[in-house]
Amino acid sequence: MNSTNYKQKEKLKKLVVPLLLLAITFIVSGTSFALWQLTFTQKTTNRITSGCFKISFKDNNPINLQDAIPITDTDGKNLVPYEFTLENTCDSYVSYQINLEVLNSSSFTNDNNIKLQLQNYNPKMLTSNKTVDPTLEETRNSYQLEKGYIGKEETISFNLRLWLDENTPLTEDTMNKSFLSKITVITSHHNNEPTYAERIIICEENGQELAQCMLENSKYDQENLLFDNTIDNNLRYIGLTPNNYISFNDEKWRIIGVMNNIEDINGNKKSRIKLIRDESIGVYSWDSSGNLVNSGHGVNEWSQSSIMKLLNPGYETATTGGSLYWNTNSGTCYNDQSQTVTNCDFTTNGLKDKYKDLIDEVKWNTGSNGTEYASNNMAADEYYTAERSDKTGKNCSGSNCNDNIVRQSVWTGRVGLMYPSDYAYATRGGTTSTRDICLKSKLYNWNTPEINDCKTNNWLYKGGTLTMTPLSISNTSGAHSAAILEEGNVGWTAATPYAAFPVIYLKSDIKIISGMGTEANPYILNI
């Protein structure tokens, strides 16, 4: 073993697969070749210790572009890709890192004019990738394209496309030049099966958004994560103790899940991460009103409710509760009917400025669909449908209802509460009832001994809890109720005080950079 091998990183096993990828001469031509070798680093002097470590490399369709000119991303994605496959033939996990190394002999010096697409990800500039240490002596620049894991006896196939970005200027610096590069694949033995947290962090390093990384790797944490099979097929944390802890606002929050088709203020629908504070910020009314309005029981319209104004910006002029939580201020808040108030102080547990920038402003469904949502006796899918109704109109009945306010089906803002369906889909079920039985059962019945597991094996069961959704119950005391979770049931008046747990959506570019999602080691964000 020569001295060069000693300079390799300890315990690192490299598979170097050079490939002449692209030659640009304004008319581009090139040749390709494949070469791989396996090297080991000694653990002790003159002693090599190894188990099974073998990576099989296969490739075809080497890139050899002729008459290359700047092209659009659409055209670039239609190019014939270079394809290569990594096969782990051992009974252990392997981590891999794919680099593109630009050679010193390349006369085309503008790396930022090269566009690439790996797999079917969105095309991006070569220079947007992380720069890493080169593995070849003749390398000028080395860019990390992807990292990941290869399972026991698993095979992963890749495809790569390279082209000149459509904005590349045709000047002396770009014409009659050659861009020469090689692919290198670095592999290393991984003792244990990679955790879900390790997988999503590496996925983010590869340039994907956190929500997509969670969705794509959900199969590696089926103990904690399940899809809800709704029309949006959201990914949710379930059970009593899932590993969904995340540090937010310098506090313990938890990830409800990945909600699909959530629309922001610009009309962009995408998958977004939904968080809830682990502890309540206090016990308050959903809404309260003077005795002349709904007999003091409040109005069940979220866009004007007192709890909404407490949580969100823009209501500083309100004498009671206005934006106190958002602005980390103190004052008075409503905590019973007929506009009864109590002192409230958010100077220590309100939202800190550095975290406000992480919160997305999105459209929330407020479930105003008139008489069709006139019962608190619904199952999970019935709540989910009702919460997303696009109907507007009066959503109040009974002798005490006289507010004449038109209920809205959508509200745009930053801080809300969880939905009854969030609570319902978080159950795992248990010995007295399966998850499937729980989801088909009316939430009103979850408090019965026969299906008590529905609420006790549910991390979102927190006793009396305010939720986002208004109800309309046809009796005098509940004519203007907000949806409340109490002992597993749903219902009560808007003015009745219960615990408030703020809920937010993370902006899509926020990443998890460390942590395991446990209470002791929560996920850490890149703030």
DSSP string, 455-512: HHTBTT--SSEEEEEE---SSSTTTTBEEEEETTEE--BTTS-EE---EEEB-TT--E
CA 275 to centroid of chain Cα atoms: 10
Residues 485, 423 contacting (CB under 8 angstroms): yes
Mean pLDDT of all residues in 455-478: 78
What 3-state DSSP class applies to 373? helix
pLDDT at 474 > cutoff 60: no
Strand pairing partners for 222?
none
Radius of gyration over every alpha carbon of the chain, rounded to an integer in angstroms: 29
Which of the two residues, 310 and 433, has the higher pLDDT score? 310
**CB-facing half-sphere around the CA of 16: CA atoms within 13 A:** 15
- Look at residue 276 in the predicted model and tell me its pLDDT: 98
pLDDT at 3 > cutoff 50: no
Burial of 319 (C-beta count, 10 Å sphere; 0-12/13-18/19+): exposed
Return left, alpha or beta for 222; rule: phi > 0 is left, psi -120 to 50 is alpha, else beta: alpha
What 3-state DSSP class applies to 107? coil
**DSSP H helical segments within 107-230, as ranges?**
196-205, 210-216
Mean pLDDT of all residues in 275-285: 97
Burial of 88 (C-beta count, 10 Å sphere; 0-12/13-18/19+): buried
Q: How confident is the model at residue 478 (pLDDT cuts 50, 70, 90)?
A: very low
pLDDT digit string, tens, across residues 127-153:
999 999 999 898 999 999 999 999 888
How far separated are the first and last CA of the chain, in Å rounded? 46
- Look at residue 56 in the predicted model and tell me its pLDDT: 64
pLDDT digit string, tens, across residues 17-44:
433 333 333 223 333 333 444 444 445 4
Mean pLDDT of all residues in 511-522: 96
pLDDT digit string, tens, across residues 8-20:
333 333 444 433 3
- Look at residue 134 in the predicted model and tell me its pLDDT: 92
Q: How confident is the model at residue 459 (pLDDT cuts 50, 70, 90)?
A: very high
- Look at residue 360 in the predicted model and tell me its pLDDT: 97
pLDDT digit string, tens, across residues 324-358:
999 999 999 999 999 999 999 999 999 999 999 99
Alpha-carbon distance of 333 to 343, in angstroms, equals 6
Return left, alpha or beta for 249; rule: phi > 0 is left, psi -120 to 50 is alpha, else beta: left
pLDDT at 371 > cutoff 50: no
Residues 98, 183 contacting (CB under 8 angstroms): yes
- Look at residue 67 in the predicted model and tell me its pLDDT: 63
Return mean pLDDT, the chain.
83
pLDDT digit string, tens, across residues 79-111:
888 888 888 887 888 889 999 999 888 888 889
Q: Determine the residue type at 122.
A: N
Residue in this structure with the two tokens 């390709």, named with its chain if needed: 32
- Look at residue 352 in the predicted model and tell me its pLDDT: 97
**Percent residues over pLDDT 90 in the chain:** 52
Q: Determine the residue type at 455.
A: K
pLDDT at 55 > cutoff 70: no
Strand pairing partners for 147?
97
